[in-house]
Structure 1
Amino acid sequence: MGLKAGIIGCGSITKFRHAPEYKVNPYVDDIVFYDRNPERAEALAEMFGGTVALSVEDLLDDPSIQIVSDCSSNEYHHIFSTQALLNGKHVLCEKPISLTIEDAKEIIEAQKKSGKVLMVDHNQRFTRTHQKAKEMIDSGALGKVLTFKTTFGHKGPEHWGVNKSNSTWFFKKDRSRFGVAGDLGIHKIDLLHYLLNDNIEQVSAFQGALDKVDEKGHPIEVCDNIVCTLKTKQGRLGTASFSWTYYGEEDNSTIIYCEKGILKVYHSEEYQLQVIFNNGEKENYMLESIQTNDHQTNSGVIDAFIDCILFNKDPVVSGEDALASLKVIIGILEAAEINRVVTI
């Protein structure tokens, strides 16, 4: 008997990632879709051969649904993920885990109480390239990590979102809260924590709504660009840039500078991972290209989530991991606002 999955929210992330990955997972038999716009749920149910729940309560109360993907907009995660866990479902929550530290803690408490799996979709940990980079760092072949820089930018959520317009909820302060920092930045903060096996402890930043306008032609209420300096607990120093205004091409690259050389991740078109040793020797790895908004591939997230449930494994990204990244993003935005260094 296979698993039955429920998906809350039928935007682009469900259409391009969650639904197709559940569809091809051999352990999942059926998908139930819910969206507050019923026609969106119906369209995806037709596309992926699933059924539609008429209300979110119907989905959460259905005892035959064992797993739930919470793909609602950010301000609802703590409501739906908490309810799903307390109703005995395993939950895969989209990032960021929530908009506040208190709400994130509420979800984590619900997970502890329920004993069910909670995984958060920080999908950068799942690429073979990032896993290989982590292996190399952990092996000590390049010595200690000293400094780093990372960036994540594309042309903006209005090109990716379900309604393809600048009325997107990503541009609304009450719904997305963090702008590009919570959309793209939080992925890279989680990645740095994962690659470096370390946590970011101090931050400073500049941010602005430099170019994006809302449906009325006014500058958006959240940042479309943010540039930060970061210091980790172990004393490593780095920079990070997050942008919705990289109009020529997407950039999702990271460079890690170590005592004995450099790791370049998603920096070259040809090689996803490049290692440059301090004696000038180079190693190039062709592993896989990273997902972009224009090039969707299987992220591996759903498969990993299902594996946790079936084989009693720890989630690759726990609620606590997601909370650690959320705290950094909140700190970065505070630093930009008060123009000072903030300790996380």
Structure 2
Amino acid sequence: MATNKLRVGVIGCGAIAQRRHLPEYLAREDVEIVAVCDFSEVRANQVKEQFGAKYAITSTEQLLALGEVDAVSICTPNQFHASVSIQAMKAGKHVLCEKPMATTIEEARDMVEAAEENGVYLMVGHNQRLMPVHQKAKVMLQLGKLGKVLTFTTTFGHSGPENWSVDGAKSWFFNKDQAFVGAMGDLGVHKADLIAWLLDDPIAEVSALVGTLHKQIPIDDNAIFLLKTSRGSIGTLTASWTYYPNEVNSTVLYCENGTMRIGADPNYGIIVDYADGMKENIEIGKMQTNDVGGQTNSGVIDHFVEGILSGKGHEINGLEGLRALEVILAGVEAAKTGQSQQVDVIK
């Protein structure tokens, strides 16, 4: 790179760009925000002024043609994640793509191949595994005191994108063509990535019940998956856009020697009840939420920037995003057919 800073562009100036990517880029002294791009010229210019970007652009091609951009965040609707990411990587840019990384396995594989062929990094924005509370939980599990995880439940729900998206009820999240799935793609994919990473055990089988229970939208507002891991743990994954009024972002692991509760208590990030009567209350960090006030750093931008500048790459790479996407697509098929679906353990 020509400078000591990572020079970035952001494609898509919606809520995730304004509340996560751009503030976290701005907080780093080793990053320069060069350009922002959005189909709305008004929004692009507003965001440019707010975050001190050099250019406000309405054309993806124009942004990617900028030689002074080294890396880009893809914050578009889901439908365009793959095509814009591949376009960016072919232009020699490192890519941080929001989740879900694509809408089909074929698209996701094409993204992984594009990164390899063009010698650039591809990272997917699965932030759950970067949260301090989940990092600590994984270390504790690896110590082995709790033994094997036998069953689990992991939940992510809030009141819906209309209360999060900059476009409110008119958000692309409710457009089936642009979003392709609802709560399970927005929230469920995070937990699909988290639980496999936390247990260090890929998901092998999925059954699902998916429905639109309350919102007048053409995609799901609730999804419950029954999961089986490669080593035989079983559990549930719940994603919901109808948790009124408060967000729930928690995981409970029922192990051979006790129970670990993560994000289930307002005071303690992790609570462990051991079978021998011992108890651990661990006060660590704060769960990142969609609450606009009092936000914590997601860790996603730090991981992206540091992986590029160090030359070490990223833990949450394209293959990891592909594994999480496959679980969601298996759930879509399981809900449609009423039959459980096997998941390929992608190497």
Q: CA deviation at 1:278?
A: 0.7
1:245 aligns with 2:242: yes
Amino acid at match of 2:254: Y
Aligned to 1:36: 39
The answer for unaligned runs of 5 or more in structure 2 is: none
Aligned to 1:300: 299
Q: How far does the alpha carbon of each residue in 1:238-277 deviate from its partner, in whole angstroms, 9 at most, with x for none?
A: 0111100000311000001111111100000110111111
Aligned to 1:11: 14
Q: How far does the alpha carbon of each residue in 1:156-175 deviate from its partner, in whole angstroms, 9 at most, with x for none?
A: 0011001122x221112111
Q: Show the 5 A alignment for 1:117-196.
A: 117-165=121-169, 167-196=170-199
Q: Please, what TM-score do these two structures have when normalized by structure 2?
A: 0.95
Aligned to 2:62: 58
* Cα distance in 2 for residues equivalent to 1:191 and 1:87: 31
- SS of 2:50's partner is helix
Aligned to 1:27: 30
- SS of 2:227's partner is strand
* Cα distance in 2 for residues equivalent to 1:143 and 1:20: 40
Q: CA deviation at 1:298?
A: 1.1
- SS of 1:141's partner is coil
CA RMSD of aligned residues (A): 1.0
- SS of 2:135's partner is helix
1:334 aligns with 2:338: no
- SS of 1:4's partner is strand
Partners of 2:288 and 2:298 within 8 A in 1: yes
Distance 1:225 1:54, change over 3 A: closer
Q: CA deviation at 1:124?
A: 0.3
* Cα distance in 2 for residues equivalent to 1:325 and 1:158: 25
Partners of 2:258 and 2:273 within 8 A in 1: yes
Q: Please, what TM-score do these two structures have when normalized by structure 1?
A: 0.96
* Cα distance in 2 for residues equivalent to 1:275 and 1:29: 42
Amino acid at match of 1:266: G
Q: How far does the alpha carbon of each residue in 1:259-312 deviate from its partner, in whole angstroms, 9 at most, with x for none?
A: 111110000011011111111211111112212111422111111111101111
Aligned to 1:216: none
* Cα distance in 1 for residues equivalent to 2:225 and 2:181: 14
1:81 aligns with 2:85: yes
Aligned to 2:206: 203
* Cα distance in 2 for residues equivalent to 1:53 and 1:177: 26
Q: After the TM superposition, which of the residue ranges 119-128 and 30-39 deviates more from structure 2?
A: 30-39
* Cα distance in 2 for residues equivalent to 1:237 and 1:7: 39
**Sequence identity percentage:** 46
* Cα distance in 2 for residues equivalent to 1:204 and 1:26: 46
* Cα distance in 2 for residues equivalent to 1:154 and 1:31: 33
Paired positions, count: 337
Q: CA deviation at 1:109?
A: 0.6
* Cα distance in 2 for residues equivalent to 1:198 and 1:39: 46
Q: How far does the alpha carbon of each residue in 1:305-335 deviate from its partner, in whole angstroms, 9 at most, with x for none?
A: 1110111123121100110110110011111
Q: CA deviation at 1:203?
A: 1.1
Aligned to 2:110: 106
- SS of 1:252's partner is strand
Amino acid at match of 2:176: K
Q: CA deviation at 1:339?
A: 1.0
